[in-house]
Amino acid sequence: MKKDNLSTLAEVRAFGHIEFLAKQLVEGFITGLHRSPFHGFSVEFAEHRLYNTGETTRHIDWKVYAKTDRIYTKRYEEETNLRCQLLLDVSPSMYYPEKSIAKLSFGALASAAIAYMLQKQKDAVSLCTFADTIIDHFPTKSTPSHLNKLFIALQSIWEKEIKEPEKRSETDAYKGSVTETLHQIADKIPRRSLVVIFSDMTERVDEHNYEAMFSALQHLKHNQHEVLLFNLIDRKTELDLDFPNQPTIFVDIETGERLKLDSPAMAKQTYTEHKKAFYNDLKLRCGQYKIELIETQLPEGQGFVDVQQKINDVLTAYLIKRSKMK
């Protein structure tokens, strides 16, 4: 499979091994945008740049030349000692849309790709999966064997959502709060770190939980962590309410609550305005708290990542944000 073909989740679904997919994604584009705000002491590969005539050929990357037919040289800089915490929301709302479970699938694959990028640069990475409680929390290490453990954990999530969706958690048993768990995680990260969150930021819509969600994000910043947020949604249905114009029963995937609409089109305008207001507020709050909200080139660009976008575009947006963080 050509690396350029790795784009949407639908196109990668036939390739079931998440480690292979993550490496293909990373190797598919230059990862030299990464810079760490924490400086180390040794010399490691940093990025590629075009070769200039007359320079030494010592640092030419011949593998890149073989793939691109262009001559690039490797640039080096002090090794970073960045510590990164990958936080993957695995609560019931992430098992949506039901047929593809794209939000969880996207989060698992993007987590694997970022973990691979970090380990290549000798940065230490951890993975925490969470819902209404912390499910798994791995230590922060930079060894290949540790990366393999993270791949195994993410592969388990990937296989469950692709091959065994019927075995996911019963939604009517889910009674907790993701935001409460984020507070717990914030207290468990002992040293300054880069925290990358994959979540749909879904909670029961009431004033208490709405403010609690932002409080949890602020808690991470208060502990001096750099925070990047991937707010994952399926834009077609979760924002645009694109459903057939016929009587439809909507089921809350976290509580099991049911709502029947004679015509989704009649509720579309009010619903969409409410959702846009929420995403705009999330974007505003993240700006106030200096949390980097990952966005890509979407119409209106309103505070979220559409999981039906090309994955490469989203990871590139991550790299650009990461390169600008001081």
Listed range (19-28, 96-105, 136-145, 173-182) with the worst mean pLDDT:
173-182
From the list 160, 152, 138, 10, the residue with the least C-alpha distance to 94 is 160
Kindly state whether residue 161 falls inside one of the protein's structural domains. yes
Tokens for 2, please give them.
């050509």
Q: Give the amino acid at 227.
A: V
Q: Given 78, 106, 135, which residue is the final one in a domain?
A: 78
pLDDT average, residue stretch 109-116: 92
pLDDT, residue 8, reads 56
Which of 23-27, 222-226, 308-312 shows the lowest mean pLDDT across its residues? 23-27
Residues 94 and 232: beta-carbon distance below 8 Å: yes
Residues 51 and 169 in one domain: no
How much is the pLDDT for 38?
A: 34
Kindly state whether residue 34 falls inside one of the protein's structural domains: no
Q: Do 167 and 297 fall into the same domain?
A: yes
Please tell me the total count of domains within the chain: 2
Task: Give the pLDDT confidence score for residue 85 in this predicted structure.
Answer: 95
Residue 59 belongs to some domain of the structure: yes
12 and 146 housed in the same domain: yes
Residue 233 lies in a domain: yes
Instruction: Report cis status (omega within 30 of 0) of the bond before 244.
Output: no
**pLDDT at 138 (0 to 100):** 95
The whole-model pTM stands at 0.77
Q: 71 and 182: one domain?
A: no
Instruction: Label residue 144 by pLDDT band (50, 70, 90).
Output: very high
142-151, 211-220, 267-276, 312-321: the lowest-pLDDT one = 312-321
Q: What is the pLDDT of residue 147?
A: 95
**Does 211 fall in a domain?**
yes
- Looking at the structure, tell me whether residues 72 and 91 fall in a common domain: no
Tell me whether residue 166 is in a domain: yes
Q: How confident is the model at residue 23, as a pLDDT?
A: 81
- Does one domain contain both 48 and 167? no
Q: Say if 208 falls within a structural domain.
A: yes
**Residues of the domain holding 49:** 39-78
Q: Are residues 56 and 179 in the same domain?
A: no
Is the pLDDT reported for residue 31 higher than 50?
A: no
List, in sequence order, the alpha helices (H) in the chain: 9-12, 18-27, 62-68, 102-120, 144-163, 178-188, 207-222, 235-238, 264-289, 311-324
CA atoms of 88 and 16, how far apart (whole Å)? 19
Range of lowest pLDDT (18-22, 124-128, 291-295): 18-22
Tell me the pLDDT tens digit for each residue of 279-317. 888 888 888 888 999 887 655 557 889 988 877 777 777
Confidence of residue 13 (pLDDT cuts 50, 70, 90): low
**234 lies in a domain?**
yes
Examine the pLDDT at 124 and tell me if it is beyond 80. Answer: yes
Residue 118 sits in the same domain as residue 237: yes
Q: The CATH number of the domain where 96 resides is what?
A: 3.40.50
Q: Within this chain, do residues 162 and 310 fall inside the same structural domain, yes or no?
A: yes
Q: Which residues pair with 96 in a beta bridge?
A: none
Q: What is the model's pLDDT at position 255?
A: 74
Query: For residues 157 and 79, which has the higher predicted lDDT (pLDDT)?
Result: 157
pLDDT mean across residues, the chain: 78
Please write the tens of the pLDDT for every residue from 68-77: 777 877 665 4
Q: Are residues 185 and 294 in the same domain?
A: yes
User: Same domain for 69 and 206?
Assistant: no
pLDDT at 7 over 70: no
Q: Indicate if 105 and 18 belong to the same structural domain.
A: yes
pLDDT at 87: 96
**How much is the CA Rg of the chain, to the nearest whole Å?**
21
